[in-house]
């Protein structure tokens, strides 16, 4: 699918939404809780653009595969350090997915689920976004959508987290698989050939009964790392600016994206979104697929949500003070 088609479907999908549903129950699982406290003298907030020294604040949870993050009660999965081949190794995508290049990443924790309507409402004191958002995600356990990149960053910072880099997102989405098209392996790109047991994308069938609406998080099986809905359901904001030719000069070790984005569709400074959505076909579910959308009010007709990550130091998750400029050395 061409990039213009993705923008068209993102806009069209908001028009056809109708009705609202009730809250639905999130699939449950038990995890080890981590007790996190701020270090003495550390402030919950800092002035804008202030660079804060990173401090280790977690004494428990060494090398645990799963933790529960106290600030938002999100289950987080340990993504191990490693390297992978980033990009379209199947030579079927668009130019911005090339060239395939080796990336090395440190370990990090990632939210097992996309941030939910319930978590967002708690963060905003019960305030709900535009009415169509409630129609798109009709329940507290559905992912929150219709967010600016700045909205996602604000939530992440308030929770002592950050958005994943584009490289971290793709590495985690692959779930340990090598050279595969989707997080679960290889299927043909034809929508009818992609089993709907794996993801919520355009249309209905099998476990996918939500059509153009999001599903409750965790409605489908996780990938190899234990991440749910990493393909489909809602697009996810990443930290990185979008640049068509960034892969040609991306650093090998822990890349954090270009300093500024390309001018796309008349709008500058756009960030990468990943993962596809309930409103798009299987082409957008590919782990190598990267795209963007204007970071302005147009985003509010798009199925865009997010999930967060936290850094790992000496095997321990790190609480990040608000507004920490983590990507500035």
Of the candidates 236, 210, 21, the one whose C-alpha atom is nearest the C-alpha of residue 110 is 236
Query: 32 with 66: CB under 8 angstroms?
Result: yes
pLDDT at position 91 is 93
Q: Is the pLDDT of residue 229 over 50?
A: yes
Cβ-based neighbour number of residue 217 at 10 Å: 29
Peptide bond before 219: cis, by omega within 30 degrees of 0? Answer: no
In a domain, 46, yes or no: no
Given a contact cutoff of 8 angstroms between Cβ atoms, the answer to whether 258 and 221 are in contact is no
Provide the residue range defining the domain that includes 207. 3-13+61-317
CA angle 34, 142, 256 (to 5 degrees): 60
The answer to whether residue 203 is domain-embedded is yes
pLDDT surpasses 70 at 26:
no
| DSSP 8-state code for residue 143 | B
Q: Is 162 helix (H, G, I), strand (E, B) or coil?
A: strand
- Which of 220, 267, 214, 272 has the alpha carbon at shortest distance from 242? 272
| CATH number of the structural domain spanning residue 125 | 3.90.1580.10
What's this model's pTM, rounded to 2 decimal places? 0.78
Instruction: Report CA 39 to chain centroid distance, whole Å.
Output: 29
Task: Give, in order, the Cα–Cα distances in Å from 161 to each of 139, 154, 314.
Answer: 24, 10, 17
Asked if residue 23 is part of any domain, the answer here is no
pLDDT tens per residue across span 59-93: 344 568 999 999 999 999 999 999 999 999 999 99
Residue 95 clears pLDDT 80, i.e. is over it:
yes
For range 4-11, the mean pLDDT: 40
Query: Band of the pLDDT at 265, cuts 50, 70, 90?
Result: low
Please indicate, yes or no, if residue 302 is contained in any of the structural domains: yes
Partners of 241 in beta bridges:
271
Residue at 34 is within a domain: no
**Per-residue pLDDT at 269:** 67
51-63 residues labelled b (16+ CB within 10 A) or e (exposed): ebeeeebbeebee
The pLDDT score that the predictor gives to residue 112 is 98
| Banded model confidence at residue 320, pLDDT cuts 50, 70, 90 | confident
Residue 19 burial class via C-beta count within 10 angstroms: exposed 0-12, middle 13-18, buried 19 and up: exposed
CA–CA gap between residue 81 and residue 121 (Å, rounded) = 33
In a domain, 44, yes or no: no
In a domain, 323, yes or no: no
Average pLDDT over residues 181-189: 84
Task: Name the more confident of 40 and 263.
Answer: 263
Helix or strand or coil: residue 249?
coil
**Structural domain includes residue 29:** no
Number of domains in the chain: 1
Q: Which of 228, 247, 227 is nearest to 290 (CA)?
A: 247
Q: pLDDT: is 251 or 190 the higher one?
A: 251
Helix (H), strand (E) at residue 86: strand 82-86
Say if residues 303 and 16 touch (Cβ distance below 8 Å): no
């Amino acid at each position: 699918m061409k990039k213009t088609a993705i923008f068209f479907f993102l806009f069209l999908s908001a028009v056809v939404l109708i009705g609202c549903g009730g809250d639905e129950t999130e699939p449950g699982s038990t995890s080890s809780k981590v007790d996190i406290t701020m270090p003495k003298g550390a402030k919950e907030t800092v002035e804008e653009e202030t660079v804060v020294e990173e401090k280790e604040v977690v004494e428990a949870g060494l090398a645990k595969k799963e933790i529960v993050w106290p600030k938002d009660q999100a289950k987080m999965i340990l993504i191990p350090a490693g390297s992978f081949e980033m990009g379209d190794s199947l030579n079927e995508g668009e130019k911005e997915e090339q060239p395939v290049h080796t990336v090395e990443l440190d370990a990090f924790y990632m939210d097992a689920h996309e941030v939910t309507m319930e978590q967002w409402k708690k963060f905003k004191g019960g305030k709900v976004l535009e009415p169509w958002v409630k129609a798109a995600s009709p329940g507290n356990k559905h992912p929150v959508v219709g967010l600016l990149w700045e909205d996602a960053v604000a939530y992440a910072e308030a929770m002592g987290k950050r958005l994943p880099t584009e490289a971290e997102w793709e590495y985690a989405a692959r779930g340990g698989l090598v050279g595969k098209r989707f997080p679960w392996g290889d299927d043909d790109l034809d929508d009818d050939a992609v089993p709907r047991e794996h993801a919520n994308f355009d249309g209905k069938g099998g476990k996918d009964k939500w059509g153009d609406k999001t599903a409750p998080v965790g409605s489908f099986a996780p990938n190899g790392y234990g991440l749910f809905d990493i393909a489909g359901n809602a697009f996810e904001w990443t930290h990185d600016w979008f640049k068509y030719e960034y892969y040609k000069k991306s650093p090998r070790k822990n890349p954090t994206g270009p300093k500024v984005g390309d001018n796309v569709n008349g709008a500058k400074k756009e960030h990468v979104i990943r993962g596809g959505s309930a409103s798009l076909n299987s082409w957008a579910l590919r782990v190598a697929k990267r795209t963007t959308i204007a970071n302005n009010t147009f985003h509010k007709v798009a199925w865009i949500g997010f999930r967060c990550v936290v850094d790992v130091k000496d095997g321990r998750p790190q609480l990040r003070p608000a507004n920490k400029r983590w990507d500035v050395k």
